[in-house]
Amino acid sequence: MTAPARNPRSHRARHGAPRRPRWGLRITSLAALAVLGAGGLGHAVVSGIDSRIDRVDAFRGLVDRPPETRQGMNVLLVGTDGRERISPALRDRYHLGGAPCHCTDTLMLVHLSADRDRATVVSLPRDTYTMIPEHTDEAGRDRPAHPQKLNAAYAEGGPSLTVRTVEQLTGVHVDHYLEVDFASFMRTVDVLGGVRVCSAKPLRDRYSGLDLPAGPSELDGGRALQYVRSRHLDGAADLGRMQRQQRFLASLLHQATSSGVLLNPVKFQEVSATLLGSVRADRGFGGDELVGLGRAMRNLTPSSTEFVSVPVGVADFPVPHIGSTVKWDEAAAGKLFQALRDDQPLTERNRRAHDAKAPRRLVGPPVPVEVAPGKVRVQVYNGSRRPGLARTTDLDLRATGFSTTGVPADARVPVPPRRTVISYDPRWDRSVRSLAAALPGAELRPVARQGPLMKVTLGLDFKGVRAVRVFAPVPKRQGAAAVTGDQVICPEGAGV
How many degrees, rounded to 5, is the angle at CA 37 between CA 36 and CA 39?
80
The pLDDT, as a whole number, for residue 70 is 63
DSSP 183: G
CA distance 437 to 397: 11
CB atoms within 10 A of CB 449: 7
State how far the Cα of 160 lies from the Cα of 463, in Å rounded to an integer: 50
Amino acid letter at 351? Answer: R
Q: Which long-range contacts (CB under 8 A, 24 or more apart) does 9-18 make?
A: 10/148, 10/152, 10/155, 10/156, 11/101, 11/103, 11/151, 11/152, 11/155, 11/156, 14/101, 14/103, 15/148, 15/149, 15/151, 15/152, 15/322, 15/323, 16/321, 16/322, 16/323, 17/323
pLDDT in tens, 428-463: 999 999 999 999 999 999 999 999 999 999 999 999
Cα dist. 166→119, 227, 283, 329 in Å?
19, 26, 19, 16
Give tens-digit pLDDT for 27-62. Answer: 444 444 544 444 444 444 455 566 667 788 999 888
Domain 12-346+474-487: CATH class, spelled out: alpha beta
Over the chain (496 residues), the average pLDDT of each successive run of 10 is 43 38 40 45 52 82 83 85 66 63 78 84 92 86 93 91 96 90 71 82 83 88 81 65 77 70 64 66 74 61 82 92 94 90 84 69 80 92 92 90 90 91 95 95 95 95 90 53 71 54
CATH 3.40.630.190 in the chain is located at 12-346+474-487
Could you give the residue range(s) of every CATH 3.30.70 domain in the chain? 363-470
Q: 3-class DSSP state for residue 184?
A: helix
Neighbours of 27 (CB within 10 A): 27
Domain 363-470, CATH number (from 2.30.29, 4.10.260, 1.10.3470, 3.30.70) = 3.30.70
> Which of 33, 5, 2, 130 is closest to 424 using CA atoms?
5
Q: What is the pTM of this model?
A: 0.70
3-state helix, strand and coil shares in percent for the chain, rounded to the nearest 5: 35, 25, 40
Q: What is the pLDDT of residue 21?
A: 34
Q: How do strand 119-124 and strand 305-309 relate by DSSP bridges?
A: parallel
